[in-house]
């Protein structure tokens, strides 16, 4: 997507915003001011969001490095990751953080306190803006950027769980979102950290007791996202999970979740309901991949409450019963699944599920190819799985189609 030259006072003429980067004015303005959009645009389209965001943070922190004071881009990133971890204790996950905390983060990373030149760097750290001038506090400018940075200390801990101190990795109110989870797995894969390494880190956390249950929850989520079997038996209580996603082959039948809130439970890759943790008194706001609780086996859910099901038979039935051609119906069903949840890619096989006839399933590749050509969605690969991501710039167009499914004249609906 090309950014209009008028969007930010004409400063960005010639720059492109990749589809995986949400076009939020505050975020884009901040990145433009730091002069990193041109670098990011070189990645092109079709990049996995986790890979793209990881590259973006590297470019952003490298731009702010001060070699003259011995601080390179990797060090700037580690300082920001420490601050993002500290911000997890706030309700928003964005802060505020006191400037004293920034100084302490610098000391924790560099092993010395900043000199006057380094203080200048700390005053203008990328990704942060002044929150309360009188209190000299900062807050992260964007939720996705903070989420990517939160993944950093998780990755550092997993790679060296027996080194250093990690007492500050506790008391969190904010866990990794779907994007942060993807970045954590992407970075661990690049470092060739195996299942045994992550499992060893989890066992180390469990040995420290309930104080670190949020960290244990993060490692559980990484293992499941990556399709692993969690053999440890433990409980997590009163934690809010933004996502809990099961990769192909994942299982955690010996884990219990008590009084937790799970905003999105993605079980689309599961064939065996016993792979799901035992859940008691949990609130599950949305379930991806099934049409009802019977498909999951009710024995895994004790006194739980449920919100929406993404594969709702009622939703699919209403779309498939519309008096329109099959191509039209298949396009509507894919758009609904693709745009139902902001910021999250959908596995390609999800578009074939539901009450589609064989003839309608045969139309799915054609519809997906059309969405890609029109710039409505794009594919990427994650662990060998094809993910389709929505281009949020097209949200208004898609909402108009879904709100008038039989009368819309949008070209997407024409075969």
The string of DSSP codes covering 271-326 is S-GGGSPEEES-EEEEEES-SSGGGG-GGGEES-EEEEETT-HHHHHHHHTSSS-H
Placement of tokens 């208004």 in the chain: 396
Contact yes or no for 84/138 (Cβ under 8 A): no
pLDDT of residue 229: 94
Phi-psi region of 230 (alpha: psi -120 to 50; beta: other; left: phi over 0): beta
**CA atoms lying within 13 Å on the CB side of residue 343:** 19
pLDDT of residue 404: 79
The ranges of the chain with pLDDT < 70 are 1-16, 44-46, 67-68, 164, 290-296, 310-317, 340-344, 354, 382-384
pLDDT of residue 399: 80
pTM of the model: 0.77
Q: Give the pairing type, strands 97-98 and 137-140.
A: antiparallel
Contact yes or no for 293/301 (Cβ under 8 A): yes
Can you tell me the distance from the alpha carbon of 76 to that of 63, in angstroms, rounded to the nearest whole number? 10
Q: Report the CATH fold assignment for 314-413.
A: Arc Repressor Mutant, subunit A (1.10.10)
Burial 271-308 (b: 16+ CB within 10 A, else e): eebebbbbbbebebebbbbbbebeebeeebbeebebee
The pairs formed by 107-114 with CB atoms below 8 angstroms and a separation of 24 or more are 108/82, 109/75, 109/78, 109/79, 109/82, 110/70, 110/71, 110/75
Can you tell me the distance from the alpha carbon of 255 to that of 266, in angstroms, rounded to the nearest whole number? 17
pLDDT of residue 11: 41
φ/ψ of residue 141, rounded to 5: -80, -15
- Other CB atoms within a 10 A radius of the CB of residue 212 amount to 21
Domain locations in the chain as residue ranges: 25-144, 194-311, 314-413
Q: What is the pLDDT of residues 156-178, one digit of tens each?
A: 999 988 776 778 888 899 999 98
Can you tell me the distance from the alpha carbon of 195 to that of 200, in angstroms, rounded to the nearest whole number? 8
Q: Among 33, 32, 382, which Cα is nearest to 41's?
A: 32
Can you tell me the distance from the alpha carbon of 120 to that of 65, in angstroms, rounded to the nearest whole number? 11
42 Cβ contact list (under 8 Å, min separation 6): none
Can you tell me the distance from the alpha carbon of 106 to that of 118, in angstroms, rounded to the nearest whole number? 9
Can you tell me the distance from the alpha carbon of 408 to that of 392, in angstroms, rounded to the nearest whole number? 20
pLDDT of residue 284: 93
- Edge-first strand order for the sheet with 137-140 is 97-98, 137-140, 128-130
365 Cβ contact list (under 8 Å, min separation 6): none
Hey, what's the torsion of the CAs at 232, 238, 242, 248, to 10 degrees? 20
Q: What is the pLDDT of residues 248-267, one digit of tens each?
A: 889 999 999 999 999 989 88
Instruction: Give one DSSP letter per residue of 183-251, joined into a string.
Output: HHHHHHHHTT--HHHHHHHHHHHHTT-GGGHHHHHHHHHHHHHTT-B----EEEES-EES-EE--TT-B
């Amino acid at each position: 997507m090309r950014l209009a030259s008028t969007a930010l006072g004409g400063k960005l003429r010639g720059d492109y915003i990749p589809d995986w980067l949400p076009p939020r004015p505050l975020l884009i303005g901040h990145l433009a001011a730091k002069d990193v959009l041109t670098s990011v645009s070189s990645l092109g389209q079709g990049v996995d969001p986790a890979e793209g965001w990881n590259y973006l943070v590297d470019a952003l922190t490298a731009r702010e490095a001060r070699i003259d004071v011995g601080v390179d881009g990797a060090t700037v990133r580690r300082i920001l990751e420490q601050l993002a971890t500290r911000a997890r204790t706030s309700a928003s996950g964005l802060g505020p953080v006191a400037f004293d905390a920034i100084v302490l983060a610098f000391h924790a990373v560099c092993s010395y306190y900043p000199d006057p030149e380094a203080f200048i760097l700390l005053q203008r750290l990328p990704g942060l803006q002044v929150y309360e001038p009188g209190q000299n506090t900062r807050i992260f400018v964007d939720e996705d950027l903070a989420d990517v940075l939160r993944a950093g200390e998780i990755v550092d801990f997993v790679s060296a769980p027996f080194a250093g101190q990690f007492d500050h990795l506790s008391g969190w109110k904010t866990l990794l979102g779907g994007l942060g989870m993807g970045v954590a797995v992407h970075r661990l894969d690049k470092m060739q950290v195996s299942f045994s390494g992550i499992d060893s880190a989890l066992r180390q956390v469990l040995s420290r007791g309930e104080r670190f249950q949020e960290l244990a929850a993060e490692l559980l989520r990484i293992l499941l996202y990556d399709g692993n079997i969690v053999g440890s038996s433990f409980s997590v209580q009163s934690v809010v999970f933004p996502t809990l996603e099961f990769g192909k082959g994942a299982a955690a039948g010996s884990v219990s979740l008590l009084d937790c809130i799970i905003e999105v439970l993605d079980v689309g890759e599961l064939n065996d309901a016993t792979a799901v943790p035992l859940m008691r008194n949990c609130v599950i706001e949305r379930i991806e991949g099934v049409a009802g609780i019977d498909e999951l086996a009710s024995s895994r859910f004790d006194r739980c409450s449920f919100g929406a099901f993404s594969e709702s038979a009622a939703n699919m039935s209403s779309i498939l019963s519309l008096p329109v051609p099959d191509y039209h119906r298949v396009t509507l069903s894919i758009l609904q699944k693709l745009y139902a949840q902001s910021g999250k890619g959908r596995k390609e096989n999800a578009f074939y599920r539901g009450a589609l006839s064989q003839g309608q399933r045969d139309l799915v590749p054609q519809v997906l190819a059309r969405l890609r050509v029109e710039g409505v969605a794009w594919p990427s690969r994650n662990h060998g799985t094809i993910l389709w991501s929505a281009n949020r710039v097209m949200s208004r167009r898609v909402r108009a189609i879904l709100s008038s499914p039989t009368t819309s004249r949008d070209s997407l609906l024409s075969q």
